[in-house]
Amino acid sequence: MAGRLWQTCLFVYLGIGLVLANVCTNIGPLGMITGNIKDWQITASSTYPKSWDRKCDVKYARVYLPNKYGWCAKYKSSSEWLKIDLGVAARVTGVVIQGRGDGKEWVTTFKVSYSMDDYNEEYVTDQYGNHRVLEGNTDAYSVKHVYLDRPILARYVKFHTVAWHKHPSMRVEVQGCQLCKEYIGLPPYGRITASSSGKQRRKSSCQPEDGTVLSNKGWCARHSSTNEWLQVDVGPPTLITGIITKGRADSKKQHWVTRYKISYSNDTLFWYEYKDPQHTEPRPQNPWLWKTGINSSRPILIPDIYTEDGLLFGGNSDKNTERVHYINSPFVARHIRFHPLEWHGKISMRVGLYGCPHTGGCGDAFMRVNEDTPCVENLAYKKEAWINSKRHYKRHIRNRIVHGHASRAVDGRIDVSLSSCTILDNLYGDNPIWTVDIGKISPISGVVIYTWQDGVPVPAEPAAVESTEGGTPYKDEMMNNLDRLIIYVDDKSKGEDDSSVSGNMCGYVSKINGALFSQKIHVQCVRPQDGRYVLVEAWGASNSWSRLFSAVLCEVMVYA
């Protein structure tokens, strides 16, 4: 099992490599200078004791720090090393090295090794396949950029001291490009749900949506039980490379989660617990975050625990400090659940995810509200739809009348040819209604409708268009008599003969300035509405000489 997981991890990383090679163009420092690489991500074979020199520490191994600061090895040995955990795989093109700015100590030659998992290590080699010995500094102040002959794909980059002046001391940076270290699943594009939530006055806090890492509140479970969970839906499945947790911020009470596990799924039916196939012994990924005892002057480490059932992540030690875990075996998923196992006070947390933002087409069941927004779930995708009432819908199927069939508007194909669209006209009633059942009560924020018209004014004497599937002649004139489309959200299904609307109005679009005749119509709700049914009602123009009108719904998409 571990072997299969490791093969999957390698496959995922190969995919990252292809993405980095084809897309990665913004080459620059990867975090030692900017501070994106935190102190806990820097380790070394040894460090000069602080009692000997307080300005020698791994956290000072950053280029451009003030003079006399830097990492100093404890021993004058060619076996000493300084390692940087980039957190997420990067395409590394070079390294930067600087001595300790005291005028006396610098590394003159060094080697570089790298790995994806901190176990299977390779060295940068020359054209002959030998370990490449890189030229370092000639003084303690100059910053030297060393290019690699070939870019490498790595998460861990290790600097090995070979020769030095006075003492092996250095400050470093790694140059390259990193794509999968961005926030994903943030509101409003990501959706957060939970097993339960605590009761708060007017729902001012403790709701699932308060559980995002950027919130100043926090999610609170209703029960103190290990069956509780907080779930993030990131949209189209994507690569998850890191997880972030915080405690609850908007209370004087001290509430946070100290240990939890992760599971993930693409359909919420089959769940997989996160496991780390390479680690069999407990090894904290974030050793500089501590839990301080009430009467203790020394901090106590909250480690990760590796078990046969999965990895139990070490959580937070206070309510506001951010705890980051970079995933040693990145996985692809849509739904990620945090399962609190131990907590301080009550179960409360804020969570976030690092990963690769989805690019390209959205795929089935997803949509973009406009071309520059991330993909969100299309709640109407291939759901049951009907015109006016379910009774009419059943009769429609029984008689095999397929022209204008209601389900064509939710088949997932943005095909604006008339024969692929649903026709909603007042042959069904004075104000015909098209309805889709999205399956469960959900918050609805808006609707996008693709229509047959393409922004072209309807001619004064429109020609008839014959249906390709055996219907009656359809005239553009009937669309010209359309006055508006009104969107409603309802939480209850109507009776079989009830074609009235009693739900909350989301919004509408009218023919003013030709807005109704655009090929793509976007109606955003004045305020989000909770409901299971989304209805589109067509109104005709009151001043038309002909009372016949039609709306053509080629694809109706609903988003939360």
Predicted pLDDT at 35: 94
Q: How many CB atoms lie within 10 A of CB 471?
A: 16
pLDDT over 80 at 81, yes or no = yes
Cβ 324 vs Cβ 244: under 8 Å: yes
The fold for domain 28-177 equals Jelly Rolls (2.60.120)
Q: Is the C-alpha dihedral spanning 435, 438, 440, 446 positive or negative?
A: negative
Span 182-279+301-357 CATH architecture: Sandwich (2.60)
The answer to whether 336 and 262 are in contact (CB under 8 A) is yes
Name the percent of the chain lying above pLDDT 90. 63
Question: Homologous superfamily of 367-457+473-559 in CATH?
Answer: Galactose-binding domain-like (2.60.120.260)
pLDDT tens string 10-37? 445 555 555 555 567 789 999 999 999 9
pLDDT class for 402, splitting at 50, 70, 90? very low
Residue 385 has pLDDT above 90, yes or no: yes
Q: In this structure, what token pair is assigned to residue 96?
A: 């930067």
Is pLDDT above 60 for 295?
A: no
| pLDDT for the residue numbered 426 | 84
Residue 85 CA to residue 443 CA, distance in Å, equals 41
The mean pLDDT value for 397-404 works out to: 42
Name the β-bridge partners of 261.
339
How does the average pLDDT of the chain come out, rounded?
84
Task: Give the pLDDT of residue 459.
Answer: 36
pLDDT confidence of residue 514: 86
Listed in order, the ranges of the chain carrying CATH 2.60.120.260 are 28-177, 182-279+301-357, 367-457+473-559
424-443 residue pLDDT tens:
888 767 889 999 999 999 99
Write the Ramachandran bin of 227: left for phi over 0, alpha for psi from -120 to 50, otherwise beta: alpha
| Model confidence band, residue 472 (pLDDT cutoffs 50, 70, 90) | very low
pLDDT recorded at residue 50: 87
Q: How far apart are CA 242 and CA 313, in angstroms?
A: 12
Q: How far is residue 550's CA from residue 560's CA, in Å, rounded to a whole number?
A: 28
Q: State phi, psi for 10 to the nearest 5 degrees.
A: -65, -40
Residue 70 is predicted with a pLDDT of 95
Band (pLDDT 50/70/90 cuts) for residue 405 is confident
Least confident of 170-184, 330-344, 502-516: 502-516
Angstrom distance (rounded) from CA 285 to CA 274: 15
